[in-house]
Amino acid sequence: MKKALLRQAFFYILPCLFLINASVLRCFFELYCRCRRKGHLYSVTPPSHEEIMTVPVLDPAAWAEKLQSLPRAGAQNVTAFYEHRMGAICTDVRFLLVPLDDHMVHRGDAIFESLTFLEGRIVQLDAHLARMKKSAEWLELEPPCSWEEMRSIILDVARVGAAPFGGIKILLGRGEGGLGVDPKECPHSSLYIVATQASPRPEAFWQKGITAARSAIPAKQEWIAQIKSTNYMANALMAKEAREKGVSVTFAFDERGFLAEAAIANVAMVDRQGQLLMPEFRYALPGTTALRAAELAKTFMPVLLTDITEEILEQAAEILVLGTTCECVAVTHYNGKPVGDGRPGPIADRLRHLLHDALVTGGVPFLE
């Protein structure tokens, strides 16, 4: 009896087991086919890297060849540059490159100075280097050469560039060595010196003047405002803001509501009593041009470093913007309202000519 029951159970259960196994196998087979169609499964022989990669891999020679063939925006402006790793000057802008792992690039751990040269003379060279040295001391950043050697290299780069009008950009970085944040991973600092050419501004620029508005970007913190670092995000946003507002520049104010600076220039004003007022350099970088302008202005009018609210600024007889490239230019309208009679005033004109002559005559010649 038991054997008969077992025999019947075997004949009934075995087909069921077969059907179940067949269903399972069919499911696995369908899954396998779908994966093959989507490319998730490889054949018995795995494909090579070349078969699965969408980005080509270039050897050093091919990389250098392609680099030299790429178009380079702004190439027409660069006349010569120096890189300390190479210890030489080059005139081909295609090789004006900074290693990505230089902390200058990915951390903003670097300082810079922007100089102008007029009529074959570098303007305020020693004043810029003195300020750069102070910034370097703040960051405990030692240049890869002496400051005297750096000065000599700047003149050499300007000579090779051979343009009578233009600018020099000096960049001193923490150096290459890693993508972290600790300066310790950078064994040597980096140094780049770049010469560019430009046409002198037409006299109409100063005769017309510029427009300005209040910035929504707050002034930098006091301690960082004293360092001319490459971290210029706030300044870049101010430049973008000015363009979107339809004005030439915007002015930042500090947390107390006092005037600080423009994106790349200092600001001053002439009050109704005939005094030149400038913000104290707490939330603004002490500009080399602004300091020289203050010295010249003291020869014919009172000059005061003081706190300036927007209310005081709006009552100005004249508003001046002082910087390396603009020298001394008048603001004719602020926040859409005329400053004075809406035209450049007499102090702006007088100070601009005094400043220009002083900058040129005091410049360091580099062209024979």
Asked if domains 74-197 and 203-365 share a fold, the reply is: no
103, two tokens: 């902390």
Amino acid at 353: H
Query: Which tens digits make up the pLDDT trace of 14-50?
Result: 455 444 455 545 655 565 556 555 555 444 566 666 6
pLDDT of residue 311: 98
Domain coordinates in residue numbering, the chain = 74-197, 203-365
Residue 101 · residue 176 · CB < 8 Å:
yes
pTM of the model: 0.85
Residues in the chain: 368
Architecture of 74-197 per CATH? 2-Layer Sandwich (3.30)
Residue 176 · residue 182 · CB < 8 Å:
no
Query: Which tens digits make up the pLDDT trace of 197-248?
Result: 999 999 999 999 999 999 999 999 999 999 999 999 999 999 999 999 999 9
Assigned CATH for 203-365:
3.20.10.10
Task: Give the mean model confidence (pLDDT) for residues 97-120.
Answer: 97
**Cβ-based neighbour number of residue 212 at 10 Å:** 24
